[in-house]
Amino acid sequence: MKSSRTLIVKERTALLRYLQSQYPETKRTALKQLLRHRAVFVNGNPVTRHDHVLEPKDRVVIERGAPAPVCKPSATMPEIVFEDRHIIVVNKPEGLLTIATEKETHRTAYRQVMAYVQEDRPHRGERIFIVHRLDRDTSGLLVFARTEEAKRAMQQNWESAEKKYYAVVEGVPREASGTIRSHLREHPKSLRMHSAPPSDEAKLAITKYLLIRSTRHFSLLEVKLETGRKNQIRAHLSEHGNPIVGDKKYDAHGNPIKRLGLHAYYLAFPHPISGKRLVFKTAIPEEFESLVNEEPGIGYRVSGFGHAKKGERIGKSRSPVETLQAKTSRMGNRRRSGIGFRVSGFGNAKKRRKER
């Protein structure tokens, strides 16, 4: 028994690219097999060339030998934060891909949210569309569109969306707040993003951070993205001496919370249809709190992004300057007892024996 799906093209594009946009969870090779087996029809005619040009209002029909299986929700289903007829916002857990890769095709946020909307309306051919992505090990707010119109509107304006993260990093930044600006490119072998001179491959990346709280060994930062490059926060914080906890790829020394210390907690953008400004927030993950609460009170209370109220303290809190002075005092005491410190990066202190 054959099943078919009919699609109406909205803009000029190549056939394979169009199929990939409609079936983001399907491998490229599988889509090419559909073409090879003459299972794709454009305006009633079978097409086998992947570079066939589609025009607006073309009718594309995909036939399959059997109905496509409907996704089933699993225990990894992200928490639904908001939904209406046009968008759906979820809180993605860490360890879950946004979209399929060659190695993992089933356990993805896309598949689980698709299963959710299909289960709700199984006979209406409900679909979702990718707007942006989060790394597998990053948790937090993720938006899917429920219509092509909403998808196009959001992607066209995504650079203007306001995105903030909580990051737990190793060490303490020397400055309580700052802006990291560089051009990032991907290393062809390690696949790490790194700063490089401006070029076609190296794109401008701007990351702002604000120190919220710190202990002797870890700091909780609020991070705001001005641009959206791959691994931007991870690369920038690592290059500035404070790698994210658990981020072995970007030089973290340990993983005390058994996960990457990065969470997309704040997202604000205009609704793609009504234009109304939407704001979504999630709480600091408990693992982050536990790591920076071992020595409560070293830090500022946050009052908006980029501002710390200098007189307002958390318990017995100290400002970053006071903290540095306290560390300097401790260093002096240790030197007198034969043990000294040398500062590495942005405040990671390492013990060494005093040279005699």
Per residue in 20-60, pLDDT tens?
A: 888 887 777 778 878 877 788 888 888 888 888 899 989 88
Q: At what angle do helices 28-36 and 15-22 cross, to 10 degrees?
A: 120
pLDDT at 1: 37
Number of domains in the chain: 4
Shared domain for 333 and 294, answered yes or no, is no
pLDDT at 303: 36
Shared domain for 284 and 162, answered yes or no, is yes
69 occurs within a structural domain: no
pLDDT at 198: 92
Shared domain for 201 and 304, answered yes or no, is yes
What CATH number did the domain enclosing 14 receive? Answer: 3.10.290.10
Shared domain for 174 and 112, answered yes or no, is no
DSSP assignment, residue 257?
Answer: T
* Contact (Cβ atoms closer than 8 angstroms) between residue 124 and residue 265: no
Shared domain for 300 and 162, answered yes or no, is yes
- Token digits for 239? 């290059």
Domain that residue 328 falls in: 320-353
Shared domain for 249 and 135, answered yes or no, is no
Shared domain for 26 and 131, answered yes or no, is no
DSSP assignment, residue 222?
Answer: E
Q: How many CB atoms lie within 10 A of CB 54?
A: 22
Q: Is 302 left (phi over 0), alpha (psi -120 to 50) or beta?
A: beta
pLDDT at 309: 38
H-only helix segments in the chain: 15-22, 28-36, 109-120, 148-156, 232-239, 286-292, 320-336
Residue where one domain finishes, among candidates 135, 156, 177: 156
- Token digits for 268? 């604000």
Shared domain for 88 and 51, answered yes or no, is no
3-state secondary structure of 346: coil
Residue for token pair 């090779």: 29
Is 135 annotated in the active site? yes
Encode the chain (356 residues) as per-residue pLDDT tens digits.
345 678 899 888 989 888 888 888 777 777 887 887 778 888 888 888 888 889 998 988 887 543 344 444 455 678 899 999 999 999 999 999 998 776 766 788 998 898 888 876 554 567 899 999 999 999 999 999 999 999 999 999 898 899 999 999 999 999 999 999 999 999 988 889 999 999 989 999 999 999 999 998 999 999 999 998 999 999 999 999 999 999 999 999 989 999 999 999 999 999 999 999 999 999 999 999 988 885 444 443 333 443 333 333 333 334 443 444 444 444 444 433 333 333 333 444 444 444 44
pTM of the full predicted structure? 0.64
Q: What is the pLDDT of residues 244-284, one digit of tens each?
A: 999 999 999 989 999 999 999 999 999 999 999 999 999 99
pLDDT at 310: 34
Beta bridge partners of 213: 220, 299
Exactly one of 58, 135, 137, 247 is catalytic; which is it?
135
Strands 262-270 and 139-145: parallel
What CATH number did the domain enclosing 190 receive? Answer: 3.30.2350.10
Shared domain for 255 and 214, answered yes or no, is yes
Q: How far apart are CA 111 and CA 204, in angstroms?
A: 32
163 occurs within a structural domain: yes
pLDDT at 107: 83
39 occurs within a structural domain: yes
- Token digits for 246? 């658990």
Q: How far apart are CA 70 and CA 328, in angstroms?
A: 62
Shared domain for 43 and 168, answered yes or no, is no
